[in-house]
């Protein structure tokens, strides 16, 4: 008689899903603090080194909806382990790299693992009891921001003490641990019906995402209105129209557009793009502000590690706010929780132009914004999954994750252009003026407040509530 295995504890499941979600976010952000030094370390141009970030962004954008759909069809745990294997392989390639293009290849493979996040959220829906569902999903969702915040000081320490390759060796070890605990703790979940995979839709969507995101990520070198980016935007826009028409016909489309066009999901995903814009702006602008030279009125000339330590409370604030988000969702519903978090982000961003007098005040401003991010990010998957059947959970959350990544990409391109256009000359280099940072905070506040308005416009029954009985 086969031995009966004890089902895993709820706490263990939540830990593993949150760990894997945070791991992808941490390792995805590891390279960002290294970009300043890599041209000298690898004897490469700044333009070539920019592909270290761009390649991961593009591969993550392409793989997330594709692997999300495959997870729904062939088993979420299997696809989650595949993502962690890709993260391991990509990390080892990066750790062994001695040229910029080998590093880019490794980062491309690493980026494919971004689909872990939506799959982890869908597994939480499958495996957690109702009383723990909102808190589990809130923590997994918030790990997208928490991991990015933890990556900065960690990468700074690794760079200063053991060299830049060490960050990728650590990433590989963490990914292997993730595969082990996933195999031991997460039970198999019955996949959906084996149906034909929409290969044509996946290829079309991949081309569209590359065409739209590539010029955004390269805006600092390509510009916005030059022939190359305009051609990419034209290809992406035409491809998007063709994809929308094509996706009406397959029996099992890559993305269920009938669901995605419903007003609640559409509003939620637009709000997700805007919140992704605000979340990335909080860390991006804070990092640049802390590293500005002391000779300008608003600069603190901090190292990557020092700036990361100042921003560490912001990452911890998101972690502490995830259970708060779950309690608010249990009591008031995910719609009002999403609205509360988005409104809090907008209001606290309004205060940030006034909190620039010291590293403490800058860190305080970032932490206040992060409180709202933790609340809103925690509630968003609950809103999304309340509108879709369980067979669509992974792919629906993949679109939501993609939307937040798109918002971050738009923020990166827009604020890079803003900070490079409003400058003052310092020792032969252009340094962004204080007004550039204040405008960036203001734009982030507007984005978050618009997201709050969209959340408030959702139907009041947008998400189920669960009690702790």
For the segment 317-361, what is each residue's pLDDT rounded down to a tens digit?
A: 988 898 899 889 888 888 999 999 999 999 999 999 999 889 999
415 domain residue, yes or no: yes
Look at 381 and 358; give whichever has higher pLDDT.
Answer: 358
> Looking at 233, 249, 265, which one is the last position of a domain?
249
Q: Which domain holds residue 242?
A: 199-249
Model pLDDT, residue 90: 94
For residues 28 and 57, give the distance between their C-alpha atoms in angstroms, rounded to a whole number: 9
Res 156: pLDDT: 75
Same domain, 84 and 36: yes
Regarding whether 264 and 192 lie in a shared domain, the answer is yes
Are 71 and 215 part of one and the same domain? no
* pLDDT beyond 90 at 450: yes
Which pLDDT score, from 0 to 100, does residue 391 have?
67
Same domain, 24 and 146: yes
Q: Who contacts 107 (Cβ-Cβ below 8 Å, separation ≥6)?
A: 31, 52, 53, 55, 56, 90, 94
Q: Is 25 domain-assigned?
A: yes
Same domain, 408 and 295: yes
Q: Are both 65 and 214 inside the same structural domain?
A: no
- 432 and 317 in one domain? yes
Check: CB of residue 53 under 8 Å from CB of residue 220: no
Residue 463 lies in a domain: no
17 is a domain residue? yes
CB 350 within 8 A of CB 333: no
| Residue 207 located in a structural domain | yes
Between the CA of residue 361 and those of 148, 156, 298, 345, 356, what are the distances in Å?
21, 21, 12, 17, 6
Pair 321, 216 in one domain? no
- CA quadruple 127, 129, 134, 139: dihedral sign: negative
Tell me, what CATH number does 103's domain have?
A: 1.20.1250.20
- 87 & 183 share domain: yes
Q: Are residues 92 and 148 in the same domain?
A: yes
For residue range 26-61, list pLDDT tens digits in order: 887 777 777 767 888 888 877 777 788 778 878 888
Tell me how many domains the chain contains.
2
Q: Is the same domain home to 358 and 401?
A: yes
2 occurs within a structural domain? no
220 belongs to a structural domain: yes
pLDDT the model gives residue 121:
84
**Is residue 428's pLDDT more than 50?**
yes
Provide the whole-model pTM.
Answer: 0.80
- pLDDT level of residue 463 (50, 70, 90 thresholds): very low
Residue ending a domain, among 217, 249, 281, is 249
2 pLDDT more than 60 = no
Domain finish residue from 185, 220, 249:
249
**The predicted structure's pLDDT at residue 114:** 84
**Cβ(387)–Cβ(334) under 8 Å?**
no
Residue 466 lies in a domain: no
pLDDT, residue 464, reads 41
**Residues 210-239, mean pLDDT to the nearest whole number:** 84
Domain co-membership, 389 together with 406: yes
The winner for highest mean pLDDT among 132-136, 171-175, 300-304, 399-403 is 171-175
């Amino acid at each position: 008689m086969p031995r009966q295995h004890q089902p895993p504890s709820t706490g263990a499941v939540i830990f593993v899903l949150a760990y894997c979600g945070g791991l992808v976010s941490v390792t995805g952000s590891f390279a960002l603090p290294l970009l300043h030094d890599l041209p000298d370390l690898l004897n490469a141009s700044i333009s070539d080194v920019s592909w270290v970030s761009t390649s991961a962004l593009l591969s993550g954008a392409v793989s997330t909806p594709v692997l999300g759909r495959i997870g729904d069809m062939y088993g979420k745990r299997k696809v989650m382990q595949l993502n962690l294997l890709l993260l391991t392989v990509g990390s080892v390639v990066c750790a062994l790299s001695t040229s910029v293009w080998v590093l880019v290849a490794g980062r491309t493979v690493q980026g494919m693992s971004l689909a872990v996040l939506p799959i982890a959220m869908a597994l939480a829906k499958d495996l957690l009891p109702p009383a723990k569902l909102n808190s589990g999903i809130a923590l997994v969702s918030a790990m997208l921001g928490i991991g990015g915040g933890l990556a900065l000081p960690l990468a700074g320490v690794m760079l200063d003490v053991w060299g830049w390759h060490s960050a990728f060796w650590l990433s590989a070890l963490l990914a292997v641990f993730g595969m082990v605990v996933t195999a031991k703790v997460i039970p198999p979940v019955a996949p959906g019906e084996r149906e034909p995979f929409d290969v044509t839709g996946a290829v079309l969507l991949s081309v569209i995402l590359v065409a739209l995101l590539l010029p955004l990520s390269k805006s600092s070198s390509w510009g916005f209105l030059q022939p190359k980016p305009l051609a990419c935007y034209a290809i992406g826009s035409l491809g998007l129209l063709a994809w929308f028409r094509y996706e009406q016909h397959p029996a099992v489309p890559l993305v269920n557009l009938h669901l995605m066009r419903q007003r609640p999901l559409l509003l939620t995903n637009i709000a997700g793009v805007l919140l992704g814009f605000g979340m990335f702006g909080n860390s991006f602008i804070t990092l640049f502000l802390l590293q500005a030279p002391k000779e300008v009125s608003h600069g603190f000339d901090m190292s990557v590690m020092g700036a990361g330590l100042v921003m560490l409370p912001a990452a911890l604030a998101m972690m502490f706010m995830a259970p708060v988000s779950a309690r608010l969702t249990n009591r008031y519903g995910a719609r009002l929780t999403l609205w509360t978090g988005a409104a809090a982000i907008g209001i606290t961003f309004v205060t940030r132009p006034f909190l620039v007098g010291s590293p403490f005040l800058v860190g305080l401003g970032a932490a206040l914004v992060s409180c709202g991010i933790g609340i809103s990010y925690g509630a968003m998957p609950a809103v999304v999954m309340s509108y879709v059947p369980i067979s669509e959970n992974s792919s629906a959350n993949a679109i939501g994750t993609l939307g937040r990544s798109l918002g971050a990409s738009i923020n990166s391109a827009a604020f890079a252009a803003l900070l490079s256009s409003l400058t003052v000359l310092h020792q032969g280099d252009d340094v962004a003026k204080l007004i550039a940072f204040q405008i960036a905070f203001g734009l982030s506040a507007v984005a978050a407040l618009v997201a709050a308005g969209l959340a408030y416009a959702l139907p009041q029954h947008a998400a189920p509530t669960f009690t702790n009985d």
